[in-house]
Structure 1
């Protein structure tokens, strides 16, 4: 949120023009939110959203937009869907070493763009600054706008294990680009980002490169009907804290995830209906043992498909109860994994909940339901879970934004006689505008892993992070971040600290 001082009217037009020129050249722009590029959302009242969260293949935010009232600048944030098996921990949004971070999905978003911005006045008074005044102008390519950024951070990481500890200093180079359309109908958004880590000292141990790209084509079909076509790709290295990580490996395996999907949403009076299809392909690269020997993870390569349907009833524009049903299929390339078990499965789910939209102050949804996963191998027990999902964005005052997220999923073991486990994630984030060019961030979260089909002790992982972003000007940000994570059951912990610059265009 931007706090502006009351504008001073100079006695002559010449003095005013001179002052405007000086401010344009010298004054820093308003805040940039925590190493991420925010995009405009539909104005309140111009859309009736029916957000849908798929617990098996990822999550989409689908909204039926009235073309007559939607802005030409309206764009939707695109996040590539991910497969059900997560390979990372619930890292905070201000994690050092991830210089260009963005929430993984709607349910686990640690913080969002401001929900309660200042509105400009007609005569250019104290609230004259636009909500996007801090945004770099970008590069026009026909009817598209490209907004690239590049960042460089210096970081330190220390990890502690039951019988050992490791530390490293490393550089992270990040690059990000967002391509958005400016069309009277329909909308295209393409977002790509990547981060490359390089240790100082020669060793490559612990380096975690990441990359992802996602595209979303929104088609406004008229008559309150909207379709979305999505595609995405993501790469990450499996986290050492993940239950499927290779024990004692010097380098964990990499995960390539390809996704695609299609959805259609239609408003029929006070009824809001949605149907969606999600597809995914996951491929693993080899891990490396301490002796340098390759460890194949090919038995984990798989395809995924999911169907999702939701129907909502608009009691009022502020409250929409809904029912949602999901069905998913996971098919592994190898009929049996390296331990001799058939891990292909079928998933089912249903939940009931409600969406709340109280305008700029409070938005979100909450749902309770049931999840079940059944495996092709009769020796693997089916998993049943009570599902609690939701997201809340609250702005109690201008300059303060709070978000809460809750998500339940069923994850697969990579091998052995255990079928899977239940993962419940709770996340929270707070952003505070300290000055017009200074933003503070506080994030926290926990993940509870319940191993119902295994003798493994249930685990709870805690994470926390804090950071500052100083917007030197609209093209350059200075960021500092500290994060800490711990898993008491395994006596593992890690903390990271980093600082760097982000150059935007």
Structure 2
């Protein structure tokens, strides 16, 4: 029995000695590698139970020491972050100011890590956003809505009322590329009155595409194109008085821009082109009224240079020059309305992280017409945007823009328009979102009284589930100088994927 006991313990002792000897080789080797390896370079892969489970061929450190070679594998790079649209299909898509609709990769005001180092529950970057449909290297998120609405208008022609259905189609198509990004957004609506009367129907459609090209570490280029159709509003200064149906406006746009950082300096150059075509209006007697004397082409070239005082504050100077050329040299009233414009403004960009971002600028804009009988128009410009998230689930958006618009006829060249947009969204619950919107448009005319137009709206969106929303909206528009007001109330369902 004693011999048997000695024989069984001997192999165990030899195994322990062999294992101890192996450790003496492994420990110095790992220490040397840890001292010489750089963070950005390749690192020695650590063997884990999951690696053994997949049975991937991997030479051990003892074998490497015996052969004098160490197999290094590059550290796997993190998966590219998906670009997401700034609007979620199924939610209202508000008109954006210039480049405010660009996609962004980081969530606004995200959750902070916990104190004990644990993980917060996974919360989607956009609350209620659907997973979408995979189309190759793109993700498509379509939505279709059906609402029932009522509208009551009052103006100089007396009160009018209509009940109608609105069918809307929206969608976003975003790329899933490791480099560059393509975003396509679309929004369209078709109105149909109850009964045979078609007065007041306002169909609209809009589609935009933006391609971002990452040309280098400090250079980014953008190519964009778009199309928009809308019917002219009855409160617009160029609307035809007494027309049964106002004319429609087809607008085609394209542009290119390039931005580059030169250390503390940031430079931007952009070129925007546009083409506008008007459809016939319809008179009270049903006869068409041609508006083709308003068809035009436009071009605008702008450059911006900024200096980074800090990552949160970048003052800038921007210069722009533009031209508008009408298809017909003279309009129906006998005036040549083609023009050239020049402008400059100074301002600052502010970026305080996820909570506050925006810019503000003040400048000067002048428009000179080809016809000497039309006085040139100049204006002090105020422009800016602000995106503020005071707390998670609450977002405030402000936009201010100054433009010079052309009259469609008569001895006046145009007017100056100041437009202020405001929006507030708040998550009352994780599936209930409240919205408040407001807009003020101040039109300054040379030979007549100024006109101020006020618009206010409110709405609720209840996410019944991930793919179905219930919406309710109310809006009111008031133009005192024209003694005009418009009240709209609607509710419906949004099906999204």
TM class by smaller structure: 0.7 to 0.9
Q: Hey, what does 1:106 align to over in structure 2?
A: 97
Q: Which residues in structure 2 correspond to 1:183-262 (within 5 Å)? A: 183-262=177-256
Q: Which residues in structure 2 correspond to 1:343-492 (within 5 Å)? A: 343-452=337-446, 454=447, 456-492=448-484
SS of structure 2 residue aligned to 1:273: strand
Q: Hey, what does 2:17 align to over in structure 1?
A: none
Q: Hey, what does 1:115 align to over in structure 2?
A: 108
SS of structure 2 residue aligned to 1:204: coil
Q: Which residues in structure 2 correspond to 1:2-41 (within 5 Å)? A: none
Q: Distance in 1 between matches of 2:316 and 2:252?
A: 30
Higher Cα Rg, which structure: 2
TM-score, length basis structure 1: 0.79
Which structure features the higher share of helix residues? 2
Q: Deviations over 1:308-328 (max 9, x none)?
A: 100110111100000001111
Q: Distance in 2 between matches of 1:297 and 1:133?
A: 45
Q: Distance in 1 between matches of 2:90 and 2:164?
A: 13
Q: Hey, what does 1:495 align to over in structure 2?
A: 487
TM-score, length basis structure 2: 0.80
Structure 1 213/70 Cα, relative in aligned 2: closer, same or farther at 3 Å? Answer: farther
Structure 1 318/427 Cα, relative in aligned 2: closer, same or farther at 3 Å? Answer: same
Q: Hey, what does 1:90 align to over in structure 2?
A: none
Instruction: Please provide the CA RMSD for this pair.
Output: 2.2
Q: Hey, what does 1:146 align to over in structure 2?
A: 140
Q: Distance in 2 between matches of 1:155 and 1:271?
A: 52
Q: Hey, what does 1:59 align to over in structure 2?
A: none
Q: Which residues in structure 2 correspond to 1:289-304 (within 5 Å)? A: 289-304=283-298
Q: Distance in 2 between matches of 1:76 and 1:275?
A: 24
Q: How much does 1:107 deviate? A: 5.9
Bigger relative contact order, structure 1 or 2 (CA pairs below 8 A, ≥6 apart): 1
Q: Hey, what does 2:306 align to over in structure 1?
A: 312
Q: Hey, what does 1:72 align to over in structure 2?
A: 81
Q: How much does 1:406 deviate? A: 1.1
Is the Cα contact below 8 Å between 2:90 and 2:495 reproduced in 1? no
- Structure 2 gap ranges (5+): 1-76
Q: How much does 1:397 deviate? A: 1.9
Q: Distance in 1 between matches of 2:256 and 2:329?
A: 28
Aligned residue pairs total 415
- Structure 1 gap ranges (5+): 1-67, 79-97
SS of structure 2 residue aligned to 1:489: helix
Q: Deviations over 1:59-115 (max 9, x none)?
A: xxxxxxxxx99953125659xxxxxxxxxxxxxxxxxxx9864232226979x9983
